[in-house]
């Protein structure tokens, strides 16, 4: 089965006033039809930039991009901005982190949904409005017909995010990119929104690229996971395999930092990964995690490890992968 | 997205903030042009009168003379050296602009900080008063002011300061409103710091950037304001030179000596332009909108 | 919205009250005794006392103030001390003149400034932006009274195209009227257009970097549609700026009328202050303040109407 989405050696560099910033150095992964893929990593690892590169949503100036992004075999990186406009909203949709500011405060919710429908599907106003009401009820918003006439500020955070989801799936896209969709929401609301994403996408057969720094979210919703560090993928696996046997020391560090896991250790303390993420200004040929890694050797600092299969369908970029009891 | 990228940088690069700001400023040609123009204006105002002949000396026989070695820009309707008058006028403009701004800041910054920090009824009263002062079209107020207190440079400066006050209060209040929500203020309060100390040691230094930008707007406003008032006869009195006064007398002689109207106005425009360019550049570097 | 309107109206009334008191006291503080001016050379103490009594100048200040306000509300602003004409008549004569200049200047300013600002923001960093920005900066930096002189020199002295000064009523002769109004309107309008251009540009740029524009782009909307989204939210800023500039416009009118010798409201202001014509001064300033407060009120209400957040929540933002 050919993958729906193939990202191949993607690299993104920002030209800023203070010098070039290598946000994404080398990312390759695939997304299959109907699958939910999680991109995990801490702030600044390049996961958002990776995801935004797919539909070409990076700024038009001051950005250099390498590599290719194939959607059903078509390379999106070769398309011009106006060509991408037909792809966005229709084949690839995005929902963002901040639902309050992601909706235009001066237009009603209904109008903003109708807008995307009118852009890509030739419906008249009444049909489009009907579809909008249908979508709102699909995402679990009560009294959808009346809600269409509401303004964003009249809705709660969770409801706004559901509106965003409705807007995103309105034209039945193949891929949905969800950039930290629950991070800005109350913990009590998060589960509901995640549930909407999961069931809706299963029903519609939409594949999802879910960006998050929260392993809990990954465990709940994702099928496969890519762990990112300093602009590169360091581990890729199915969810089950990742949690059962994390291979990369960084992944293990992330999991160790989970309160639930900390409770199981003898010391019952939150494990932390010492050190800082390297600044994205250069890219030496060595393992970027080495300075913080307990098992780093000379080999790690000599050449950068490449992604290699360490278990079945489980890839890791490390010279010393696998579970050991001494960590850094 | 680039702010995400830049946010990661500063903690780990070696160049200091001052150097970085200076580099960003120098990378903007328009800002540098502004700096050059302002410097030229300052040089003219400070050193010009020292290097030119006496602007008050009249040589009625050589009125409206064209440029010569003796009078580099010719003479005016009373035979006075035009360049000397322009230089002295520059000094008057500089004094008016800088002093009125300084006065407005001296009074307005404390009021703005207090208003923004304490909120409540103090804020309401200050805002109402601010709006009231703003409601008066400035020139009408200035005319009345001059009528009551007499027309002189000193009174012009005071009237200008009053006119500049509302914007200064508003900007400072805005800064205080934003800053008071920051955690480090909460920390200071929890430590038992008194309000005055908080305003002076925390709010003020953090407002400096916005205030510097505001100063680059206020000074040219003062310069143009002084020129306008003198133009109307409400400011500097003849025979003292002022760019505004020079324009008044030039209006009568537009036919025979249009250059007398061109020079002073052009200098006002260039000085104002310089401050505006400088202010724009500083604003980009010091107080960019994506700071928050 | 109702609460918001009520609060703004009340606030305007307060400002009006404060201003009127300030005006009243300020005018009384002007040096020069109006009774003396009116009586002229042949002033005797008895005559002065009679004049003071006739004009209520011997009453305590608060009484004078209340008297004044009640009369003003009936449209009676007193009599001009210099020529014995009712002040209201003078005002009615002069206000439309300045109003015409102001309206023409606003038309010039908006028609040039707002589109220029939009183009500048949309084509940011490119040639059109630099050109627009350049003109905007120059328009801001050039003092309008100088611009007036230059305009007179170019168009009247050198080209003999337009008259240098003077005024003809609109009703009398529209063509001649406009010939004389063109230069003042353009001179005033230039400054306004520069401010509007910069504010529109900065407001639009600010909105273009907001998240909802990113959403619009992610939805596959065209660049034009994205700009429309941003423009909708920039209107409030532009309206506010326009309201704030009106004060500057009136100040500008004062000087412009001097230069072009137009018998408008602005010229009346200066003349009346220099002549110590109390009733006229009071009338002039009260009308100015009233007009300015009214316009600000309208601008605020328009702002609230444009921003659904204010409209629906009664201004509690």
Low-confidence winner among A134-148, C25-39, C125-139 (lowest mean pLDDT): C25-39
Q: What is the spatial distance between Cα A258 and Cα A251, in angstroms, rounded to a whole number?
A: 11
Pairwise CA distance, residues C139 & C190, whole Å: 6
Residue A134, pLDDT above cutoff 50 = yes
Give the pLDDT confidence score for residue C37 in this predicted structure.
63
Phi and psi torsions of A118, nearest 5°: -65, -30
Q: How confident is the model at residue C31 (pLDDT cuts 50, 70, 90)?
A: low
HEC profile for chain C?
CHHHHHHHHHHHHHHHHHHHHHHHHHHHHCCCCHHHHHHHHHCCHHHHHHHHHHCCCCCCHHHHHHHHHHHHHCCCCCECCCCCCEHHHHHHHHHHHHHHHHHHHHHHHHHHHHHHHHHHHHCCCCHHHHHHHHHHHHHHHCCHHHHHHHHHHHHHHHCCCCCCCCCCCCCCCHHHHHHHHHHHHHHHHHHHHHHHHHHHHHHHHHHHCCHHHHHHHHCCCCHHHHHHHHHHHHHHHHHHHHHHHHHHHHHHHHHHHHHHCCCCHHHHHHHHHHCCCHHHHHHHHHHHHHHHHHHHHHHHHHHHHHCHHHHHHCCCC
On chain B, the residues whose CB falls within 8 A of the CB of A44 are 4, 7-8
Residues in CB range of B229: below 8 A, 6 or more apart: B139, B142, B146, B151, B156, B159, B235, B244
pLDDT of B102 above 90: yes
Intra-chain end-to-end CA distance of chain A, in Å = 40
- Residues of A whose CB is below 8 A from C306: 106
Which residues on B lie below 8 Å from A48 (Cβ)? Answer: 1, 4
A90 interface with C at CB cutoff 8 Å: yes
- Please report how the helices B204-231 and C144-151 are oriented relative to each other, as an axis angle in degrees rounded to 10: 30
Closest Cα in chain C to B139: C251
What is the distance of C-alpha B77 from the center of its chain? 31
Quick one: pLDDT at residue A328?
Answer: 39
Enumerate long-range contacts of B115-123, CB under 8 Å, 24 or more apart.
B115/B169, B115/B173, B115/B176, B116/B172, B116/B173, B116/B174, B116/B175, B116/B176, B116/B177, B116/B180, B117/B176, B117/B180, B117/B195, B117/B198, B117/B199, B117/B203, B118/B195, B123/B173
Nearest to C183 by CA among C252, C256, C97, C251: C256
Substitution target in C131, C141, C157, C268 with the highest count of B β-carbons within 10 Å is C141
Asked if the C-beta of C178 comes within 8 angstroms of chain B's C-beta atoms, the answer is no
Residues of A in contact with B8 (CB under 8 A): 21, 44, 277, 279-280
Pick B41 or C66 by higher pLDDT.
B41
Q: Nearest CA to B163 among B195, B192, B136, B183?
A: B136
CB-based contact A102 C306, cutoff 8 Å:
no
A71-77 long-range contacts (CB < 8 A, ≥24 apart) are A71/A4, A71/A5, A71/A174, A71/A175, A72/A4, A72/A174, A73/A2
* Span A72-94, pLDDT tens digits: 989 999 998 889 999 998 999 99
Average pLDDT over residues C284-289: 78
Interface contact C218-A85, CB threshold 8 A: no
Helix residue spans in chain A (DSSP H): 47-53, 81-87, 99-102, 109-120, 125-138, 144-147, 157-169, 187-204, 215-221, 239-244, 249-256, 259-264, 298-302
Q: How large is the ipTM? A: 0.86
Contacts of A211 in chain C (CB under 8 A): none
Taking contacts as CB-CB distances below 8 angstroms, the residues of chain B near C292 are 135-137
The candidate with the shortest Cα–Cα distance to C48, out of C37, C60, C59, is: C37
Identify whether the C-beta of residue A12 lies closer than 8 Å to the C-beta of residue A58: yes
Instruction: Check if the beta carbon of residue A327 is closer than 8 Å to that of residue A256.
Output: yes
d(CA A290, CA A274): 11
Best residue in B3, B6, B7, B8 to probe A by mutation, most A CBs within 10 Å?
Answer: B8
Compute the C-alpha angle A242/A236/A26, nearest 5°: 150
C175 CB-contact burial (10 Å; exposed 0-12 / middle 13-18 / buried 19+): exposed
- List the single residue in A with minimal CA-CA distance to B25: A17
DSSP A95-106: E-S-HHHHS-TT
What is the mean predicted confidence (pLDDT) over C264-283? 78
Please spell the DSSP secondary structure of A274-315, one letter per residue.
-S-PPPTT---SS-TTGGG-TT--HHHHHSPPPPEEEETTEE
Residue A301: CB atoms within 10 A of its CB come to 14
Residue to test with chain C: of A104, A114, A176, most C Cβ within 10 A: A104
8 Å CB contact between C202 and C113: no
Nearest CB to C307 within list A86, A90, A106: A106
Task: Report DSSP state, residue A163.
Answer: H
Cβ contacts of residue C290 below 8 Å, gap of 6+?
Answer: C16
Average pLDDT over residues A44-60: 89
Q: Do C214 and A89 touch (CB under 8 A)?
A: no
Q: What residues of chain B lie within 8 A of the CB of C285, using their CB?
A: 136, 140, 144
CB A229 within 8 A of CB A41: yes
* Chain B residues near any Cβ of chain C (below 8 Å): 128-129, 131-132, 134-140, 143-144, 147-148, 220, 224, 227-228, 231-232, 244, 247, 250-251, 254-255, 258, 261-262, 264-266, 268-270, 272-273, 276-277, 280, 289-290
Which residues sit opposite B266 in a β-bridge? none
Which has the minimum average pLDDT: A141-150, B10-19, C171-180? B10-19
* Nearest residue on chain C to A173, alpha-carbon basis: C219
Q: Report chain A residues whose CB lies below 8 A from the CB of C221.
A: 85, 89, 115-116, 119
Q: For every residue of chain B, which 3-state class applies, written as one string? A: CHHHHHHHCCCCCCCCHHHHHHHHHHCCHHHHHHHHHHHHHHHHHHHHHHHCCCCCCCCHHHCCCCCCCCCCCCECCCCCEHHHHHHHHHHHHHHHHHHHHHHHHHHHHHHHHHHHHHCHHHHHHHHHHHHHHHHCCHHHHHHHHHHHHCCCHHHHHHHHHHHHHHHHHHHHHHHHHHHCCCHHHHHHHHCCCCHHHHHHHHHHHHHHHHHHHHHHHHHHHHHHHHHHHHHCCCCCCCCCCCHHHHHHHHHHCCCCCCHHHHHHHHHHHHHHHHHHHHHHHHHHHHCCHHHC
% of chain A residues with pLDDT over 70: 96
Q: What are phi and psi of C162, to 5 degrees?
A: -125, 150
| Interchain pair C15, B132: CB under 8 A | yes
Residue C80 has pLDDT above 90, yes or no: no
Chain C positions in Cβ-Cβ contact with residue A104 (cut-off 8 Å) = 212, 215-216, 229, 232-233
Tell me the C-alpha distance between A274 and A294, whole Å.
Answer: 10
Q: What is the mean pLDDT of residues B232-250?
A: 85
Q: How far apart are CA A55 and CA A177, in angstroms?
A: 9
d(CA C38, CA A218): 90
Which residue on chain B is closest to A24 by alpha carbon? B5
Chain C CB within 8 Å of residue A122 CB: no
- Nearest CB to A104 within list C218, C229, C306: C229
Give the dihedral of Cα atoms C57, C60, C64, C65; nearest 10 deg. Answer: 140
The reported pLDDT for the residue numbered C269 is: 81
CB < 8 Å from A in window 117-156 of C: 125
Q: What pLDDT score was predicted for residue C73?
A: 73
**CB of A60 within 8 A of CB of A19?**
no
Q: Are A16 and B4 an interchain contact pair (Cβ–Cβ within 8 Å)?
A: no
Interface test with B, best of C27, C144, C145 (most B CBs within 10 A): C145
pLDDT at C52 over 60: yes
Mean pLDDT of B246-260: 84
Nearest chain C residue to B274, by CA: C141
Judge contact between C284 and C268, C-beta under 8 A: yes
User: For the packed helices C223-260 and C144-151, what is the interaxial angle rounded to 10 degrees?
Assistant: 70
Measured between alpha carbons, how far is A12 from C30 in angstroms, rounded to an integer?
70
**Res A223 pLDDT > 90:** yes
Out of A103, A151, A154, whose CB is closest to C215?
A103
The set of chains that have 3 or more CB pairs under 8 A with B is: A, C
pLDDT above 50 (res B8): no
Interface test with C, best of B28, B37, B135 (most C CBs within 10 A): B135
Q: Is the preceding peptide bond at B239 cis, omega within 30 degrees of 0?
A: yes
CB-nearest to C215 from A81, A96, A119 is: A96
CB pairs < 8 Å spanning A and C: 79
Q: Which residue of B has its CA nearest to A52?
A: B1
What are B's interface residues with A at a Cβ cutoff of 8 A? Answer: 1-2, 4-9, 11-13, 20, 24, 27
User: pTM of the predicted model, to two decimals?
Assistant: 0.77
Higher-confidence residue of B188 and A113: namely: A113
Q: Which residues in chain C have their CB less than 8 angstroms from residue B262's CB?
A: 150
Query: In C, which residues are within 8 Å of A57 by CB distance?
Result: 214, 217-218
Q: Taking the C-alpha atoms of B44, B50, B56 and B58 in order, what is their torsion angle to the nearest 10 degrees?
A: -100
Average of pLDDT values for B114-139? 80
Shortest Cα–Cα distance, B201 to chain C (Å): 30
> pLDDT for C206-249, tens place per residue?
898 899 999 999 999 998 999 999 998 888 888 878 877 877 88
| Cβ-defined contact of C292 to B143 (cutoff 8 Å) | no
Q: What percent of chain A has pLDDT over 90?
A: 38
Provide the 8-state DSSP code for A143.
S
Chain C residues within an 8 Å CB radius of B147: 30-31, 273-274, 276
Please tell me which of the candidates B128, B251, B290 has its beta carbon nearest to residue C149: B251
d(CA B169, CA B62): 50
**Which of B1, B4, B6 faces A18 most closely, judged by CB atoms?**
B6
Mean pLDDT, rounded, of chain C = 80
Over residues A43-49, the mean pLDDT reads 87
**C162 touching chain B per CB within 8 A:** no
C210 touches chain A (CB under 8 A): yes
């Amino acid at each position: 089965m050919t993958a729906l989405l193939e990202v191949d050696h993607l690299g993104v560099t920002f030209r800023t006033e203070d010098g070039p910033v290598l946000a994404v150095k080398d990312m390759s992964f695939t997304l299959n039809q109907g699958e939910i893929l999680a991109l995990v990593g801490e702030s600044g690892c390049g996961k958002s930039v990776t995801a935004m590169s797919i539909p070409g949503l990076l700024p038009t100036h001051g950005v250099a991009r390498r590599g290719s992004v194939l959607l059903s075999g078509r390379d999106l990186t070769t398309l011009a901005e106006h060509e991408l406009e037909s792809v966005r909203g229709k084949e690839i949709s995005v929902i963002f982190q901040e639902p309050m500011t992601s909706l235009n405060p001066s237009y009603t919710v209904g109008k903003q949904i109708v807008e995307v429908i009118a852009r890509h599907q030739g419906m008249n106003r009444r049909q489009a409005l009907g579809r909008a009401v249908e979508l709102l009820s699909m995402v679990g918003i009560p009294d959808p017909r009346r809600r269409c006439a509401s303004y964003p500020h009249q809705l709660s955070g969770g409801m706004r995010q559901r509106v965003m989801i409705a807007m995103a799936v309105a034209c039945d896209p193949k891929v949905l990119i969800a950039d930290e969709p629950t991070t800005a929401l109350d913990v009590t609301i998060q589960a509901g929104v995640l549930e909407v994403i999961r069931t809706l996408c299963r029903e519609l057969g939409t594949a999802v690229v879910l960006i998050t720094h929260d392993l809990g979210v990954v465990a709940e919703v994702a099928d496969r996971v890519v762990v990112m560090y300093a602009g590169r993928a360091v581990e890729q696996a199915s969810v089950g395999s990742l949690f059962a046997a994390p291979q990369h020391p960084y992944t293990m560090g992330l999991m160790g930092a989970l309160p639930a896991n900390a409770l199981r250790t003898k010391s019952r303390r939150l494990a932390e990964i010492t050190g800082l993420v390297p600044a994205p200004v250069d890219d030496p040929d060595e393992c970027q995690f080495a300075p913080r890694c307990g098992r780093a050797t000379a080999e790690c600092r000599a050449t950068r490890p490449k992604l290699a299969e360490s278990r079945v369908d489980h890839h890791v970029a490390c010279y010393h992968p696998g579970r050991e009891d001494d960590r850094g | 997205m680039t702010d995400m990228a830049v946010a990661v940088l500063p903690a780990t690069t070696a160049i200091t903030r001052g150097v970085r700001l200076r580099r960003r400023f120098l990378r903007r040609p328009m800002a540098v042009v502004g700096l050059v123009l302002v410097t030229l204006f300052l040089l003219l105002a400070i050193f010009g009168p020292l290097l030119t002949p006496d602007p008050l000396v009249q040589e009625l026989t050589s009125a409206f003379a064209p440029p010569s070695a003796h009078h580099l820009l010719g003479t005016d309707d009373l035979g006075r050296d035009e360049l000397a008058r322009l230089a002295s006028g520059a000094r008057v403009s500089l004094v008016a602009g800088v002093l009125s701004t300084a006065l407005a800041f001296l009074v307005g910054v404390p009021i703005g900080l207090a208003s923004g920090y304490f909120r409540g009824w103090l804020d309401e009263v200050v805002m109402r008063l601010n709006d009231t002062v703003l409601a008066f079209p400035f020139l009408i107020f200035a005319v009345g002011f001059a009528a009551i207190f007499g027309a002189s440079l000193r009174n012009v400066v005071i009237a200008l300061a009053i006119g500049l006050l509302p914007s200064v209060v508003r900007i400072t209040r805005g800064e205080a409103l934003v800053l008071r929500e920051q955690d480090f203020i909460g920390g200071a309060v929890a430590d038992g710091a008194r309000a005055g100390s908080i305003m002076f040691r925390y709010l003020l230094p953090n407002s400096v950037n916005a205030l510097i930008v505001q100063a680059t707007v206020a000074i040219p406003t003062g310069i143009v304001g002084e020129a306008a008032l003198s133009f109307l006869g409400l400011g500097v009195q003849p025979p003292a030179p002022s760019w505004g006064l020079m324009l008044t007398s030039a209006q009568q002689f537009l036919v025979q000596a249009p250059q007398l109207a061109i020079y002073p106005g052009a200098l006002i425009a260039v000085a104002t332009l310089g401050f505006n360019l400088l202010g724009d550049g500083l604003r980009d570097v010091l107080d960019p909108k994506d700071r928050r | 919205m109702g609460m918001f309107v009520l609060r703004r109206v009340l606030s305007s009334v307060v400002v009006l009250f404060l201003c009127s008191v300030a005006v009243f006291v300020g005018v009384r503080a002007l040096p020069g005794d109006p009774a003396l001016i009116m009586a002229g050379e042949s002033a005797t103490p008895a005559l002065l006392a009679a004049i003071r009594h006739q004009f209520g100048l011997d009453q305590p200040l608060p009484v004078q103030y209340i008297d004044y306000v009640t009369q003003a509300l009936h449209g009676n602003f007193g009599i001009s001390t210099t020529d014995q004409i009712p002040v209201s008549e003078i005002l009615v004569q002069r206000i439309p003149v300045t109003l015409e200049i102001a309206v023409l200047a606003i038309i010039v300013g908006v028609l040039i400034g707002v589109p220029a600002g939009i183009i500048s923001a949309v084509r940011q960093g490119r040639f059109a932006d630099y050109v627009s920005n350049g003109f905007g900066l120059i328009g801001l930096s050039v003092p309008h009274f100088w611009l007036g002189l230059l305009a007179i020199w170019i168009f009247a002295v050198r080209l003999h195209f337009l008259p240098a000064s003077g005024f003809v009523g609109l009703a009398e002769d529209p063509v001649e009227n406009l010939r004389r109004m063109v230069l003042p309107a353009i001179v005033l309008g230039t400054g306004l257009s520069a401010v509007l251009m910069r504010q529109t540009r900065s407001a639009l740029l600010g909105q273009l970097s907001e998240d909802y524009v990113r959403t619009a782009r992610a939805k596959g909307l065209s660049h034009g549609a994205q700009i429309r989204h941003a423009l909708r939210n920039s209107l409030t800023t532009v309206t506010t700026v326009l309201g704030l500039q009106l004060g500057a416009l009136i100040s500008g009118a004062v000087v412009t009328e001097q230069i072009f010798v137009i018998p408008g409201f602005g010229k009346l202001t200066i003349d009346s202050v220099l002549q110590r014509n109390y009733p006229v001064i009071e009338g002039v300033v009260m009308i100015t303040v009233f007009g300015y407060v009214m316009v600000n009120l309208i601008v605020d209400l328009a702002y609230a109407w444009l921003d659904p957040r204010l409209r629906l929540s009664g201004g509690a933002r």
